[in-house]
Structure 1
Amino acid sequence: MLDHLDQLTVISGLQMRIALYEDMKAYKQLYELLSDGLYRFSYSMVRSAEVAEEIVSDVFIKLWQMRARLSEIDNLRVYLYTIARNCSLNYLERNADSRVIGLENLDSGAFAEGANPADLCISADLANQMRRIVQQLPPQCRLIFQLVREEGLRYKEVAAILDVSPYTVRNQLAIAIQKLGEASLLKGILFKGVAEK
């Protein structure tokens, strides 16, 4: 898997190819690179595989429709996650029974299912214990943990996607790490690199 800087470089190159040359191959590569993460992100909010797939499709349709303006976007990955967030929240609002929907009310538990097994070199028992603890975190805290740890997003990117401050991201992530640490999980393995973001 690409590290953060390499991924941003690849995304930027694909972004320019799409913007300048309407390159369908670059569009397909961008889809392959980002669709799984966008799907997990949307699914964690809408809790429907079919709806999450539709949202990801809508995100990429919107991307293609605005391809001439892509060069104006500084961080395309954040931009696409923000579109996915808005589409997911719009879906929830349209399908709610007069409930107020906000990020703090979302159940993002399914996000933990998308963890990369190569990153977690621990036994199945510890992985299950970690998933249970992550499930018990407050929704916003859980979502932030999963975006940073499992999707590899930076604090500023998560802040932009969720429309919160980077300090909120940092604080919520600290809460998640503290809760997991209290459960005596292998801090060195699980949180390697998280504090560096």
Structure 2
Amino acid sequence: MDQELAQIKQLQQKIALYEDMKAYEQLYGLLYPGLHRFACAFVKSRDTAQDIVSDVFIKLWQIRGRLMEIENLKVYLFTLARNFSYNYLTQQFKKVVLSLDEADPEVLISFDDPESLCISADAVGKIRLAIRQLPPQCRIIFQLVKEEGMKYKEVADVLHLSVLTVRNQVAIATRKIAALLPAGELRAAFKNIK
């Protein structure tokens, strides 16, 4: 994951200093899938989530001259996606009071990468079942940590939670998933879920 952060930092620099469109496109390709799943969990629409992520990257381009002031661009972009999702929901429903518990994290978990295919179909089914049974906030936190590779502090910053809450939610998710899998499958599953 440090390699990804280094790559993001390098792309951030190219965009900020040289207005490099290729770097901008590479950053988009790198972060779009996770941002899309994250926004989709809130707005419950893949098309709307796509629009939100597009808005996030438009905003990124608009502030490109100040990008070097941003310490962790990935956390910044996930925070923008969350805020844009909240704004969208507020505009749509005027009186929406949204909490993480109302988000639909089912769309967040993806087993489409080749490594995940090494896990038996039965294990994947059990993992999906366990993840669906997690409380919504727990599911979102689990996805950000395990799939997006974010650190607890980064997830806490994005979701306005304490690091302790994030750590506890990951532990809860891990225990619940572990309860449904034999030990060998569990090790393989968590090795292959980022």
Q: 1:120 Cα deviation (Å)?
A: 5.3
Q: Distance in 1 between matches of 2:48 and 2:111?
A: 17
Aligned residue type for 1:189: A
Between the two proteins, the alignment pairs up a number of residues equal to: 192
Which of 69, 74, 77 is the matching residue for 1:77?
74
8 Å CA contact 1:120–1:189 kept in 2: the answer is no
Instruction: Give 1:99-178 correspondences, 5 Å limit.
Output: 99-113=96-110, 116-119=113-116, 121-178=118-175
Q: Which moved more, 1:181-190 or 1:165-174?
A: 181-190
Deviations 1:124-182 (A, max 9, x none): 12211211110110000011111111111111111111111111110000000111111
Q: Which moved more, 1:180-189 or 1:113-122?
A: 113-122
8 Å CA contact 2:123–2:181 kept in 1: the answer is no
8 Å CA contact 1:116–1:150 kept in 2: the answer is no
TM-score by length of 2: 0.92
What is the identity percentage for the equivalent residue pairs of Structure 1 and Structure 2?
52
TM-score by length of 1: 0.90
Q: Which moved more, 1:23-32 or 1:105-114?
A: 105-114
Q: 1:193 Cα deviation (Å)?
A: 9.0
Aligned to 1:25: 22
RMSD: 1.9
Q: Distance in 1 between matches of 2:192 and 2:46?
A: 30
Q: Could you list the runs of 5+ residues in structure 2 that have no partner in the other structure?
A: none
SS of the aligned residue for 2:191 comes to: coil
Instruction: Give 1:33-112 correspondences, 5 Å limit.
Output: 33-96=30-93, 98-112=95-109
